Structure 1
Amino acid sequence: MADAKTITISDVMTKSVISVDAKLTVNETAKMMEDAKVGAVIVMEDNLPIGIVTDRDFAIKIAAHAYQISTPIKKIMSTPLFSINPDETVRTAADLMHDRGIRKLPVIDDGKVIGIITSTDIVNLLAVCVEEDMRDMYFHSVAKIYTNYSPYN
């Protein structure tokens, strides 16, 4: 296995990503997600990615606001769309996901969605790491937490 600090997003991302037009309804989108067996779709408008809808958005936003199934998907999408470049490291993705409180991160290259990396992908990677990589990631996380809460910063 390569050094965990240098594994790139393109090494671990899922390359097949479903995207939907912003005008699609929540019902049509949910059916697409079910058929494709995915937990997220990228919302597009004028061929540009503008948001993401996850299974969590369905569970929380639709239920909490009692939206009709005919509601445009754009109304429940999460925006702004945070994304990452395929050449970035997995550690960078993990930091961004932690900082933003997100579990799914689209991978965008030259304005095109080319993949997605999820918290599950990162956990699966951790499961096969060597002890040295685990120790390094642990100390990186502790240092980050300390920096966030240190009275000296």
Structure 2
Amino acid sequence: MRIANVYRPLVFGCSVSATLPEVARRMTEKNIGALAVLEADRVAGVITERDLVTALATSDDPAGLSAGMCASSDIKTATLDEDTREVARRMLDHGIRHIPVDQDGRLIGMVSMRDLLALETLAP
């Protein structure tokens, strides 16, 4: 199956200057585990629940940290035409649970490991 069939076409994001409490509130409000970190009109990174936990565990003042400081900037992406199993393998290989979906250089959505696992679980 292709990523086009399973990705979530809404992109939730925050600015690079958003504080970690703001990031956590946004994730909670949207019931999601990752946000695109945006700088002007480009994606500067992805911040995840794991990034928030790491900041809490390692910083004396996590509330003073910004999304841009804690986000993963080595962004792996998927495209609409890619096979879901190939993307799942790439996510496993890189230890990531959320991957942005790119079309012609534009971020158009996100797919999570949970989305891919549900696909495999529900397949006939």
TM-score (norm. length: structure 1):
0.75
Say which SS state the counterpart of residue 63 (structure 2) adopts. Answer: coil
Cross-structure match for 2:84: 90
Uncovered stretches (5+) of structure 2, i.e. residues with no partner: none
Q: Once the 2 structures are TM-superposed, how far is the Cα of residue 117 of structure 1 from its aligned partner? A: 1.0
CA distance in 1, matches of 2:75, 2:3: 17
Alignment of 1:109-124 (within 5 A): 109-124=103-118
CA distance in 2, matches of 1:67, 1:108: 34
Deviations 1:42-68 (Å, cap 9, x if unpaired)? 001121112111111111233222333
Say whether residues 1:12 and 2:6 are aligned partners: yes
Cross-structure match for 2:96: 102
Cross-structure match for 2:61: 67
TM-score (norm. length: structure 2):
0.91
Cross-structure match for 1:149: none
Cross-structure match for 2:122: 128
Q: How many corresponding residue pairs?
A: 124
- Structure showing greater Rg: 1
Q: Once the 2 structures are TM-superposed, how far is the Cα of residue 90 of structure 1 from its aligned partner? A: 0.3
Q: Once the 2 structures are TM-superposed, how far is the Cα of residue 96 of structure 1 from its aligned partner? A: 0.9
Uncovered stretches (5+) of structure 1, i.e. residues with no partner: 1-6, 131-153
CA distance in 2, matches of 1:18, 1:74: 15
Higher strand proportion, which one?
A: 2
1:38 to 32, 42, 62: 32
The percentage of aligned residue pairs carrying the same residue is: 27
Cross-structure match for 1:80: 74
| Structure with more contact order per residue of length (Cα contacts < 8 Å, sep ≥ 6) | 2
